[in-house]
Structure formats: C-alpha cells, structure tokens
Structure 1
C-alpha cells in the first residue's frame, strides 16, 4: 500500500481540528532557504517565522535533499501542522522517510514555541500513529528525544513508547530512542 498524498487527519478528539499537509516543492525550497515571505506566498498559508528560522531550516534542507534523491519519500516526510480552525500553520510533523526493511518509521514533530501547550504536539502524534497503523508495511514507530525534553518524553510515554537505547545526534546531542509497535502490521 502506498502512502497517501492527501492531508492526514484523525477523528480522535485529541487531533480534532488538525491536519498534516504535505509540503509543496516551492514551499519546501523557500523554507529550506529560510525565506518566510516566499514560503507564505507559495503556500497561501500563514506560516510562522519559527518554521523558516534557524531551528527548522536544517530539517527542511535535509528533506529537500532527501526528496531530490528519492522523490517517492515526499509523501512520507515532514509535513505542515495546520490548525484548521485558525487556518494557521503551527508546526511541522512527519516521518523521517518510508519504512525501512524491518518496517520501522521514525517520527519527528516540532510545534512553534508560541503555540505550545495547546495540544498540537499530541494531535500531531496521534495523526502520525494512526497513519502508521493504517499501513501494513509499518511494524514499529520510533522516536528519538533529548533527555532534557521532558514534555515530549512524557507525551510519548502516554502512547506506549518504550526506551530501547540511546544514540548521538550531531545536531541534538544525546538522544533516547523510543519505540512502539504499530497495530496495522
């Protein structure tokens, strides 16, 4: 089963009013270049400065390069988190790529700091888990979290993620690796 390109949503209360929308190539290029005005114009959405800022530009560049090498990855990777009530883009969320040979997908999400503590990360996580669970090729969902990122760790714990190891990330430093089984496999 292929990955859908339509926006990802959930009927679960925790994710009500949110969707994860695939990033159009022109928007991705603008975000990777840190060009907020061009990203807003190409998306016709209110994208926050955070998403074109230094904390996110590296992710957008990585995904742009990844999609250039493997266009089929585009449907799987980082999307815009949109609050459908306000019409605002509040963050980014998605997978690092399609499932690997063992059926593992790694998730990533980040909400604009001025929009945190409103349930957006929870909603994005629910959508990512439900999307993974709909795809039989996905057996495991992985997340990696810095030990000092307690809000994200607590959220992942609530959804059954368990620590399976640690890794060093050149950008984020030491990370705890957490996994949960997908129910669709």
Structure 2
C-alpha cells in the first residue's frame, strides 16, 4: 500500500471495520479555524463536534500550516477514522511523508467511541501503509506516560521505547519505534 487520496483500509484481522479517509486541504483549513459547517460542506463524511474539539483543532492547525508550506504532504497527513457504519470516530495518520526512512504516526479516537478497537484498527492500517512504502524502515509513535491505553496499544504491536521528548502541548512523551522488515 502506498499513500494515495483514496481511503486507506487493511485486510488484517480487526481492521476491516474502519477506513482512514483523506480530507481535502480546504476542509483541514476549515477545521483548523473551528468551522465545522464549512468543513462538512467540503467532505461527504459525516463530521462530529469532536473534530473541532480543542485537541483536534490543534492538530488541524498544525496540518493546515503544513499543507500551506508543503502541499505534497496531503496524502500522508492526518485523516478521519470512519467506521463502517459511516460514523467518524476519530483521526489518524502520519505526521508527514518519510524522512530518512522513518514515519511518525498519530491517532485519537473520540471519547464516545473509545474501547471498541478503532485505534487498533487505525494503527494497523497505518502500519500496512508504512510497510508498503519502499524506503520506510521505521515507524515512530510518541505517547504521554499517563496515556496507558495508547501505551498498551503500541506495546501490542511491538514498538520499543527509544527515548523521551518534550512536546509543547503534551509535556513529556515516551518515543517508541517499530522496525519494519
């Protein structure tokens, strides 16, 4: 699998009930501005209030600035996690295209949809995309030490801690990596 504008899916067990859907850049800019109605007009996916929550808006602002500086990153960055029912349950994607053989993943599930396997399915899809991309050898995730569900998720996929970093929004994070074959 190579990144495209098409929805990303996985045939792996447990990932079949979600897809990761790319938003048009204009929708990302609208979400960055907190304009849910404008973003909704730009995508057929049903958007929820969660996608304009403060945490999501911070990510959309970052991705909006990224797209303005580097429009070619659009296929790589944050997408919607859409359940087979058509419900948008969160967001997931890469921080950008590969750099020196590495991509970093990010994901968040709407609190009303957590503990149903959506983050696991989204991470499975992201790993499939990364594994299908020539030259990508490492996938990175950064997890706050108090985010035990996310820590358990990356542990289940075999990520290994390689250090710590300070994030302006989240504070200290554990940096974990997974080597690809």
- Is the CA contact 1:10–1:126 (under 8 Å) kept in the aligned structure 2? yes
Query: 1:34-183 to 2 correspondence within 5 Å?
Result: 34-84=34-84, 86-101=85-100, 103-183=101-181
State the aligned residue count: 181
- Post-superposition offset of 1:3: 3.0
- Post-superposition offset of 1:41: 2.2
Structure 1 gap segments, 5+ residues each: none
Secondary structure of the structure 2 residue equivalent to 1:164:
strand
Q: CA 1:2/1:71 → structure 2, altered by over 3 Å: closer, same or farther?
A: farther
TM-score, scaled relative to structure 2? 0.96
For residues 64 and 94 of structure 1, the distance between their equivalents in structure 2, rounded to whole angstroms, comes to 14
Deviations 1:77-123 (A, max 9, x none): 10111112x1111110000011112x010000000000101110000
- Is the CA contact 1:48–1:112 (under 8 Å) kept in the aligned structure 2? no
For residues 156 and 104 of structure 1, the distance between their equivalents in structure 2, rounded to whole angstroms, comes to 16
Structure 2 gap segments, 5+ residues each: none
For residues 63 and 182 of structure 1, the distance between their equivalents in structure 2, rounded to whole angstroms, comes to 26
- Is the CA contact 1:7–1:19 (under 8 Å) kept in the aligned structure 2? yes
- Post-superposition offset of 1:176: 0.1
For residues 125 and 149 of structure 1, the distance between their equivalents in structure 2, rounded to whole angstroms, comes to 16
- Post-superposition offset of 1:2: 6.2
Name the Cα RMSD after superposition: 1.3
